[in-house]
Amino acid sequence: MPNSSIDIINVIESKLKDKVQIQKGQLSTAAITVSNGLHRDVIQAMVDADPYTAISAITGLDLGASLGVYYHVRTSNAFLTIKAEVPKENPKIQTITDITPSGVFHELEVSDLFGVAFEGNPLPGHFVLPETWPQGIYPLRKDVNANEVKLDPPLEEEKKPSEGKLVKIIIGPQHPALLEPEKFAVTVDGETVTKVEPRIGYVHRGIEKASESRTYLQDIYLVERICGICTTIHAADFCETVEKLLKAEVPQRAKYLRVIALELNRLHSHFLTLGHAGLEIGYETLFQYFWRDREPIMDLIELTSGSRVYPSIMTIGGVRRDLKDTDLPKIKTTLIELRKKLPFYRQVYENEPSLRARMKNVGILKREDALKLGVVGPVARGSGVDIDVRKDEPYEAYSEIPFKEIVYQDGDTWARMNVRMDEVEESINIIEYALDHLPAGPFRVKVPRVVPPGEAVNRVEAPRGELFCYIKSNGTAMPERVKVRTPTYANIPSFLKTAIGENIADVPPNFVSLDPCFSCTDR
């Protein structure tokens, strides 16, 4: 947890007292309403005061006559929302990427889905929508009609001759190293990478839009399907946000049961990545070992929830299934067996010479860059940035459970993987503690189906990092707007930075050390 005593609201008040309207306690720490243009000053003041300041997400909103642009900014000890508005006819706003580069991708998404032009953003063109998307139709606005969307004829693939020694290698959308469709145009000089151009959106499913036409209860299962790996955490994030809107208190037992489900989820996700990294560096044996030992974790998820991949255990007001006392010994023995295998894996990841040769000093992300680019989760912690939502803003029962925050200072691929290796052990500790201290009582409370009008933000620590959710309710059974910012979306900019200047063969291990999930990125 960043040890800091900066009172960020004080800083903003002292600098911009009369110009902005600060509502303390709204939307986590505070909501700040600004007139057009002043959002830059607020963010500038925050960046100057606190090096941990980074854009967590930018939410676009259709407010009828105007469009809302909400900047969700995290600092070392606070989480603020800066509300700006732009007119619908001429939606223009100045970019903040020159103040903090962490906003680049978030701005692109809002500009694609809401048509807000960010003046000065360095990356032009479509980022989420296809190139053939018709002009003037912005899918997440309320007045859009699906029948109007007629794609333009596909563009001819331009065949540029390679300029001099530079060769462009297209990785993706279909590539055996990427399990999901995503495109990275890598320009190489000999074997050295000189430029990386990302393009996402190949599997964009419009979950944010789809959830606006479903009830809150249906949405739990929809957002759970944002990702096939970190499933539970998406549902938990959504449920917690709705509970904030409802001002519902979750029973103590449910909090512990949620922690158990979330940590099992983290365990299997980390095992998957640790094995997959082996595959990327041609270490198939490591891959097979990790995936073998991932199986008992999947069995535990099935035991506790009834399903291996999509547990669907979260619900608004608690969990859907209680943990049977008869199941406890089975879970504990499995975890003990798992713990016995960890020293061997630790040994391999720390000391195996060929693995070290491929991972040590590969894709170094310096601490300053990690802070500037606003990376989250194990990527940030591998670069010495001590942020973990479980510690910084404890949710569920994490404030009551002791656990270590793993931080490595090296900032390379090796450090990022070893953060995960150590977190596996912490996760086992957390689950064992939660099982031992499981309180009695109900595992869910009844909540109304209709949510009162309002808005709420929530953050949780997914296996890949900070997961952000914003929900606006209009007083019906269906949400007005759901925004989810997944950790991979925040971590990809770091890859664009670290890949430059390294060998093309280092690209796969460097990339996999972000634990990229494009299914998350393309919601």
Please report whether residue 352 would count as binding other proteins according to CB under 8 A. yes
> What proportions of the chain, in percent to the nearest 5, are helix, strand and coil?
40, 20, 40
Q: Where are the alpha helices (DSSP H) in 133-251?
A: 207-210, 216-224, 231-246
Please report whether residue 286 would count as binding other proteins according to CB under 8 A. yes
Closer to other proteins by CB, 175 or 225: give it: 175
How far is Cα 453 from Cα 438, in angstroms, rounded to an integer? 34
- In the complex, least distance from residue 161 CB atom to other proteins, rounded to whole angstroms: 14
Rounded alpha-carbon distances, angstroms, from residue 110 to 59, 115, 154, 173: 7, 7, 24, 23
- In the complex, least distance from residue 462 CB atom to other proteins, rounded to whole angstroms: 25
Return the residue of 204, 234, 294, 358 that touches other proteins, per CB under 8 A.
358
- In the complex, least distance from residue 169 CB atom to other proteins, rounded to whole angstroms: 7
Please choose, out of 209-217, 287-295, 299-307, 448-456, the segment that lies near other proteins by the rule CB under 8 A: 287-295
Please report whether residue 88 would count as binding other proteins according to CB under 8 A. no
- In the complex, least distance from residue 176 CB atom to other proteins, rounded to whole angstroms: 5
Please choose, out of 37-45, 264-272, 353-361, 453-461, the segment that lies near other proteins by the rule CB under 8 A: 353-361
Number of residues that bind other proteins (CB under 8 A): 29
Give the DSSP letter of residue 117: E
Pair of tokens at residue 123? 């990356």
Please report whether residue 282 would count as binding other proteins according to CB under 8 A. yes
25-64 residues in contact with other proteins (CB under 8 A) are none
State the maximum Cα–Cα separation within the chain, in Å, rounded to a whole number.
71
Please report whether residue 183 would count as binding other proteins according to CB under 8 A. no
Asked whether 440 and 408 are in contact (CB, 8 A), the reply is no
Return the residue of 112, 280, 388, 515 that touches other proteins, per CB under 8 A.
280
Residue type, 76: S
Q: What are phi and psi of 169, to 5 degrees?
A: -105, 125
Please report whether residue 177 would count as binding other proteins according to CB under 8 A. yes
How far is Cα 38 from Cα 96, in angstroms, rounded to an integer? 11
Please report whether residue 285 would count as binding other proteins according to CB under 8 A. yes
- In the complex, least distance from residue 265 CB atom to other proteins, rounded to whole angstroms: 24
CB count in 10 Å sphere of residue 268: 25
Give the HSE-up count for residue 478: Cα atoms under 13 Å, Cβ half-sphere. 9
92-151 residues in contact with other proteins (CB under 8 A) are none
Please choose, out of 51-59, 274-282, 368-376, 438-446, the segment that lies near other proteins by the rule CB under 8 A: 274-282
How far is Cα 125 from Cα 216, in angstroms, rounded to an integer? 34
Return the residue of 142, 292, 404, 449 that touches other proteins, per CB under 8 A.
292
Return the residue of 136, 161, 176, 441 that touches other proteins, per CB under 8 A.
176
Closer to other proteins by CB, 172 or 374: give it: 172
CA angle centred on 83, ends 80 and 88, rounded to 5°: 155
470-509 residues in contact with other proteins (CB under 8 A) are 503-508
Pair of tokens at residue 48? 């100057």
Asked whether 109 and 117 are in contact (CB, 8 A), the reply is no
467 in the Ramachandran plot: left (φ > 0), alpha (ψ -120 to 50) or beta?
beta
CA angle centred on 74, ends 403 and 421, rounded to 5°: 35
Return the residue of 7, 48, 152, 191 that touches other proteins, per CB under 8 A.
191
- In the complex, least distance from residue 267 CB atom to other proteins, rounded to whole angstroms: 19
Please choose, out of 40-48, 173-181, 412-420, 440-448, the segment that lies near other proteins by the rule CB under 8 A: 173-181
Please report whether residue 355 would count as binding other proteins according to CB under 8 A. yes
CB count in 10 Å sphere of residue 312: 18
CA angle centred on 286, ends 280 and 290, rounded to 5°: 105
Return the residue of 73, 110, 140, 279 that touches other proteins, per CB under 8 A.
279
Please report whether residue 278 would count as binding other proteins according to CB under 8 A. yes
Residues at the contact surface with other proteins, assessed by CB under 8 A: 167, 169, 175-177, 191, 278-286, 288-289, 292, 352, 354-355, 357-358, 503-508
